[in-house]
């Protein structure tokens, strides 16, 4: 294994901190690239020339304008420099909040009684049931209200602010909506949350750590590190990210630890821990690699919004298909799943096949 450390440059789109349920953007997108500074500079120079932009920092909002689409598609589709060297992670914010409601309440209650809901994937399964069925069972407005009341309780700045949040607001909303509808699966999950409602009281207190439960950046980077382990192979690497408030020393130290934990992929294959060595933050104006990541994050968000509206075959979606991160944060029944599953992700298939052969499972 080489001692050289590969740098992966990152940026995001749709980040609004811990405000997930009342945010302007319903999808959080993180893009990352494995490019040299020279390669990224050349890509941005060519794209800037194609769209005739004199801006000091070309942004995705510019290149995504309808009259610039041909130039953008040409830059992505014709640029071999991006082949196998770009990753786009998509996260459905509502699904993230639903998962946190299970994780921070039901899973914590079960853990207190010596029950493991994580290893077998039960936490994710319960979140999927809620995300897929609760909007219909409870009514969209009631479902959104429940998520918002939980989001407001858990948001760290509210706990640390002058007005202490009250778990009673969330509990009252939970009590109201759990009595609605006739979907037995949704009812059972809501009853599990109701029985674990005592866990909510701890989130009235000021946080004892800088790690934020409702900020998607940290779990996103952990997943992205695992995907780059597949894309790069067993090599050491580090993230170079645009400045972001969630990437403080405690969060970065936490990420360096958890990135090394292996995770199951499929068919008996395990994703080895990633050899993530460091995380650096930079000013995007001074790093063309981060600027390329910004462009791709914006493109990823546009592709995701098209999927949500029912479009899965737009040329933009086709151009970036192999860039999608297979570990995105979505329900199996969501448009984001359809977007990434419309055809196999070859980089994942190659990894799984190679691992099955290595393990004698093929």
pLDDT tens-digit series, residues 304-332:
999 999 999 999 999 999 999 999 999 99
Work out the mean pLDDT of the chain and round it to a whole number. 89
Instruction: Say if residues 259 and 222 touch (Cβ distance below 8 Å).
Output: yes
Residue 98 binned pLDDT confidence (cut-offs 50, 70, 90): very high
Of 112, 219, 130, 247, the C-alpha closest to 181 is 130
pLDDT, tens digit, for every residue of 277-304?
Answer: 999 999 888 999 999 999 999 999 999 9
DSSP H or E run through 155: none
- Please, is 187 exposed, middle or buried when counting C-beta atoms within 10 Å of its C-beta (0-12, 13-18, 19+)? middle
Give Cα separations from 94 to 21, 49, 84, 106, 310 (angstroms).
7, 38, 30, 18, 18
What confidence score (pLDDT) does residue 1 get?
43
Residues 6+ apart with CB under 8 A from 120: none
What integer pLDDT is reported at residue 116 of this predicted model? 72
Buried b (16+ CB within 10 A) or exposed e, 66-96: eebbebbbebbeebebbeebbbbbbbbbbbb
| Span(s) in the chain for CATH 3.30.420 | 6-87+216-358
- Helix (H), strand (E) at residue 223: helix 217-232
Phi then psi for residue 343, to 5 deg, are -150, 155
In Å, how far from its chain's centre is CA 234?
23
What digits encode the pLDDT tens for the residues 199-243? 999 888 777 776 778 889 999 999 999 999 999 999 999 999 988
Structural class in CATH, domain 6-87+216-358: alpha beta
Average pLDDT of the segment spanning 162-177: 87
Burial of 338 (0-12, 13-18, 19+ CB in 10 A): middle
Beta strand residue intervals within 225-274, DSSP E:
237-242, 263-266, 269-271
Model pTM above 0.95: no
Distance CA 73, CA 93 (A): 27
């Amino acid at each position: 294994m080489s001692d050289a450390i590969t740098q992966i440059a990152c940026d995001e789109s749709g980040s609004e901190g811990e405000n997930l349920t009342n945010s302007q953007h319903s999808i959080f997108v993180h893009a990352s690239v494995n490019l040299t500074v020279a390669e990224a500079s050349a890509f941005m120079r060519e794209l800037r020339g194609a769209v005739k932009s004199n801006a000091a920092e070309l942004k995705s909002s510019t290149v995504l304008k309808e009259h610039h689409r041909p130039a953008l598609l040409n830059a992505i589709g014709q640029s071999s420099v991006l082949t196998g060297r770009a990753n786009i992670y998509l996260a459905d914010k509502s699904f993230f909040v639903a998962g946190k409601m299970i994780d921070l309440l039901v899973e914590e209650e079960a853990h207190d009684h010596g029950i493991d809901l994580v290893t077998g994937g039960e936490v994710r399964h319960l979140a999927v049931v809620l995300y897929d069925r609760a909007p219909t069972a409870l009514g969209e407005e009631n479902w959104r209200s429940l998520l918002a009341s939980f989001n407001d309780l858990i948001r760290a700045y509210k706990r640390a602010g002058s007005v202490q949040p009250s778990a009673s607001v969330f509990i009252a909303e939970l009590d109201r909506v759990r009595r609605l509808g006739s979907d037995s699966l949704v009812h059972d999950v809501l009853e599990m949350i109701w029985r674990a409602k005592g866990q909510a009281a701890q989130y009235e207190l000021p946080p004892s750590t800088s790690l934020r439960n409702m900020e998607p950046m940290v779990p996103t980077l952990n997943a992205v590190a695992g995907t780059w382990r597949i894309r790069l192979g067993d090599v050491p690497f580090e993230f170079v990210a645009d400045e972001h408030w969630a990437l403080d020393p405690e969060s970065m130290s936490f990420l360096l630890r958890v990135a090394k934990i292996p995770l199951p992929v499929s068919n008996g294959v395990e994703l080895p821990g990633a050899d993530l060595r460091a995380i650096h933050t930079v000013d995007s104006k001074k790093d063309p690699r981060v600027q390329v990541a910004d462009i791709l994050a914006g493109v990823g968000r546009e592709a995701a919004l098209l999927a949500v509206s029912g479009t899965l075959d737009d040329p933009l979606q086709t151009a970036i298909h192999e860039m999608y991160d297979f570990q995105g944060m979505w329900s199996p029944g969501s448009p984001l799943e359809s977007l990434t599953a419309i055809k196999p992700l070859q980089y994942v298939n190659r990894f799984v096949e190679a691992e099955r052969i290595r393990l004698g499972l093929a």
